[in-house]
Amino acid sequence: MPIAELNEAEIPVASDEPVEEYRRRSAAREGEVRRLDRLHIRLGNVRLLLATVAVVLAWWAFRSHWISPWWLAAPVVAFAVVAVYHARVLRARRCALRAVAVYQRGLARIEDRWMDGGQQGERFRNPQHLYAADLDLFGPAGLFALLSTARTRMGEDTLSSWLLSPVPIEEIRERQAAVADLRSRLDLREDLQVLGEEEGARVAPDALPHWAEAPTELREGWLRWVAPLLMVLAVGATVVWGVWNTFLPLFAVLLVEASLTRWLKKRMQAIFSSTGNTFESLDLLSGMLARLEREEFHSTRLLALQTALTSHSMKGSEAIARLRTIVDLIDSRDNFIVKFLDVPLMYSVQVALRSEMWRAQHGAAVRGWLDATGEMEALLSLAAYHYEHPADPFPEFLDGEPCLQGEALGHPLIPSEKCVRNDVTLDAETRALLVSGSNMSGKSTYLRTIGVNTVLAMAGAPVRARRLRLTPLTVGASLQVNDSLQEGSSRFYAEITRLRRIYDLAAERPPVLFLLDELLQGTNSNDRRIGAEGVLRGLLERGAIGILTTHDLALTELSGLPEGALRNMHFQDDLEDGRMRFDFQLRAGVITKSNGLELMRSIGLKV
C-alpha cells in the first residue's frame, strides 16, 4: 500500500512534537511509579499485620486453646490474596519503570545523547562487507545503535539485513507504508518494550525453530493412551492396597511402569536435554505475539505479517503459551515430590509426550512466527526513528537511469547543531563527482552522509535530508580500508582488492553507487592518475554512479571520460591565526588554494 493511501484518521493519534509527547508520557509513568510505591508499602504493612494476626491466633488456638484452629483460615487466606495482589502491583511497578526508561531513551535519541547506549550490533560487524564498516553501521555510536529498539534477536537480525542488502523497489515501498502506519503507535511500542520479567530479556531465533522442526523421538501412537491408563491403574491399585491391604496389584502396575520408563529413558533424555536453552524468554515471546495479534493495522505488509501470526490452527501466542506450560512441567521434574511420584504417575513419559505432540502440531509454524515477529520489530524500529525525527522525509524512488538527487543532506549520526548539510546530484549527465580539498575539510564525512542516507532509503526508512530522489542503488565504498598484518597485505593492496570487488558488483543490479575516499593514495602520483582514470572509466562503463575524493589536485584533470560525466567539486579551508578553519560547505570547481605549507610553518616546522 503506498503511503498516500493510508488514512491518517485511522492511525492512533500522538503529538506531532515527539519531545513534548515523550516528556508527558515519561512524567505520567513516573507518577504511576510513585503511586505504586505507596501502594507497595501499604500492602507490605498489611501482610505484616496479617502475619502477626496469624501468629497470635495460632498461639491462642494451639497453646492456650482459647479458640478453634479454624480461625487461622481467615488471616491465612487473606494473606494469600494480598500476596497475589502485591505481586501484581510489583509487576506493574516494574513495567512503569521500564516505560520511563523507554521514553528517556527516546528523548536521548532526539536530543543526540544516545551515543553511549543502544544495541550496538557488534555481532553483525563484517570487515569484508562493501560498506558496513566504512559507513559505521555497527558498533558504538553506529547507525544500528540509533535505529534498533528490538527486544528479540530476530528483530535485530532483520534490521541488520535491511541495512546490509538492497531489495526491489516494491518491497521498499511496502516498508515505507508500514513504517508510516506504525509511526504514531506509541502505545504499541511501549507495550512491547515493557513485556517480560527482565528488562534485558531477549528471544533467540535459532534454538527454538531448530528444536521445533527436529524429528519426533516418541513415534509410538499407543503411548498416548497407555501412559495415562497406567497412571489411573496405579492410583486404583493404591486404593486397593489401602482398603484391602493387597500390595500385589500395585506392585504389578509399578513393574510395568518402571519397565516402560526404562525402555523410553534414552529417548526421553534426548527430548529433555534438547530443551536446555531452547525455551528461554517464552513468556516474552508469547506476550509479544499476543500484543501484535490484537493490534489493528492498515498497511498491506503489516496485515500480511499479522496473518502469518494467526493463520495456523492455533494463534502463535496461544501455542507459545502452551509450550511455556510444558516447560514448567519439564522443570518440575526436579521437584522432590515429583521425583518420588514420577514412575507411578508416568510423569516424565506424559510430559515428554506432550512436548512431542506440541512439536508435531506447531513445529512447522514456529519459524514463520519468529520471522514475522522479527520483521515487525524492524519496522517498529524504523517507525520510532520516523516519529522521533519528523523533519526527515521518505525518499522518492524513480525509474530509469541511475540517479541520486538530494537537497540538504545531513549525517544522522552527527548532532543536529553540528551537522552541516550539502546537496548532491548524480544523474545521466553528471555521473561522478570528484571532490578535492585538504584533510579534515569534510570530504570523508560527505561520502558517509551520501552513503548512510542511501542505505536508509534502500532499507525503507526516512532520510536526513530536505528531499531525496533516487533510483534503486547498492553502495560500494572504500573509506576505511587498512593494511593487515595477519593477511600480509598492504593498504594499497587491500584498497585495489576492494576496488575490484566494487567493479565486479557494478555488473549486477541494482546499479552501484561508489564512494571512494582518497583514491589510490598508496601509490605514486603518476600511477594514481592513470589508475584512477581506469577505475573510474570501468565503473562508469558498467552503469555505476558515484563520488571519489582526493587532496591530489593532479586527479582533478582526469581524461578519457565521456564529456560532462565527471564534475569537480571541493571543500574549502582557511588559515586564521595559525589555525585551520572549515565551513564544510561543498562548492563547485577545483579547490584553488592549499594551506598545507602554512599550517606546517604555523606549528614550527621549517618548510
pLDDT value for 15: 46
Furthest-apart CA pair in the chain: how many Å? Answer: 113
Pick the closest to residue 594 from 579, 578, 577, 574 (CA basis).
574
**Between the CA of residue 400 and those of 386, 394, 397, 469, what are the distances in Å?**
28, 19, 10, 12
Q: 594 pLDDT band (50/70/90 cuts)?
A: low
Q: Kindly tell me the burial class for residue 139, based on how many C-beta atoms sit within 10 Å of its own C-beta (0-12, 13-18, 19 or more).
A: middle
pLDDT at 196: 78
More confident position, 533 or 414: 414
pLDDT at 542 over 50: yes
Q: Which pLDDT does position 484 carry in this prediction?
A: 47
Own/partner contacts of 314-318, CB < 8 Å, gap of 24 or more, are: 314/361, 314/362, 315/289, 315/290, 316/289, 316/365, 316/369, 317/286, 317/287, 317/289, 317/290, 317/293
- What is the DSSP secondary-structure string of 420-449? PPEEEEESSS--EEEEE--TTSSHHHHHHH
Task: Give the C-alpha separation, 176 to 173, whole Å.
Answer: 5
pTM: 0.89
**pLDDT per residue over 361-408, tens digit each?**
999 999 999 999 999 999 999 999 999 999 999 999 999 899 999 999
For residue 70, the model assigns a pLDDT of 86
Superfamily of domain covering 396-602: P-loop containing nucleotide triphosphate hydrolases (3.40.50.300)
pLDDT reported for residue 578? 62
pLDDT of 87 over the 90 cut: yes
Question: 212 by DSSP, 3-state: which?
Answer: helix
Least confident of 126-135, 161-170, 502-511, 523-532: 523-532
pLDDT at 203: 66
CB atoms within 10 A of CB 44: 12
What is residue 23's predicted lDDT score, i.e. its pLDDT? Answer: 95
The DSSP result for 125-152, as a single string, is --TTSSSTTTTT-SSTT-HHHHH---SB
pLDDT of 448-462, one tens digit each?
999 999 999 999 999
Strand order in the sheet with 422-426: 396-397, 467-470, 404-409, 422-426
Can the peptide bond before residue 228 be classed as cis, meaning omega within 30 degrees of 0? no
* pLDDT, position 110: 93
Highest mean pLDDT among 510-519, 525-534, 549-558: 510-519
Dig out the grid coordinates for 145 from the structure: 545503535
pLDDT at 236 over 50: yes
At 280, the pLDDT band (50, 70, 90 cuts) reads low
3-state secondary structure of 566: strand
Share of the chain above pLDDT 70, in %: 90
Q: Is the pLDDT of residue 5 over 60?
A: no
**Per-residue pLDDT, 447:** 96
Could you tell me the sign of the dihedral formed by the alpha carbons of 359, 361, 363, 367, in that order? negative
Percent of the chain clearing pLDDT 90 (strictly above): 58
Tell me how many helices (H) and strands (E) the chain has. 18, 10
Residue 573 predicted with pLDDT over 60: yes
pLDDT digit string (tens) for 176-207? Answer: 999 999 999 999 999 999 987 665 556 666 77
Average pLDDT over the chain, rounded to an integer = 87
Question: 286-331, pLDDT tens digit by residue?
Answer: 999 999 999 999 999 999 999 999 988 899 999 999 998 998 898 8
pLDDT mean over 273-296: 83
**pLDDT score of 81:** 95
Residue 449 neighbours by CB distance under 10 Å = 27
Q: How many CA atoms lie within 13 A of 6 on its CB side?
A: 25
pLDDT higher than 80, residue 544: yes
What the block records as the C-alpha cell of 374 is 522479527
Per-residue model confidence (pLDDT) at position 278: 61
Helix (H, G, I), strand (E, B) or coil at 64: coil
Give the contacts of 413 (CB within 8 A, at least 6 positions apart).
Answer: 136, 141, 142, 143, 146, 452
- pLDDT for 574 beyond 80: no
Which pLDDT score is estimated for 599? 65
**pLDDT value at 215 more than 90:** no
Strands 422-426 and 404-409, sheet pairing: antiparallel
pLDDT tens column, 8-36: 333 344 445 899 999 999 999 999 999 99
Task: Write the pLDDT tens digit of every residue in 459-510.
Answer: 999 999 999 999 999 999 998 766 443 444 567 888 888 889 999 998 888 9
Beta-bridge mates of residue 515: 477, 547
Query: What's the average model confidence in pLDDT over 516-533?
Result: 80
Task: Give the tens place of pLDDT for each residue, 321-359.
Answer: 999 899 889 889 889 999 999 999 999 999 999 999 999
Q: Is the pLDDT of residue 552 over 80?
A: no
Q: What sign does the CA torsion over 571, 576, 580, 584 have?
A: negative
Q: Which residues pair with 587 in a beta bridge?
A: 570
Measured distance CA(600)–CA(219) in Å, rounded: 81
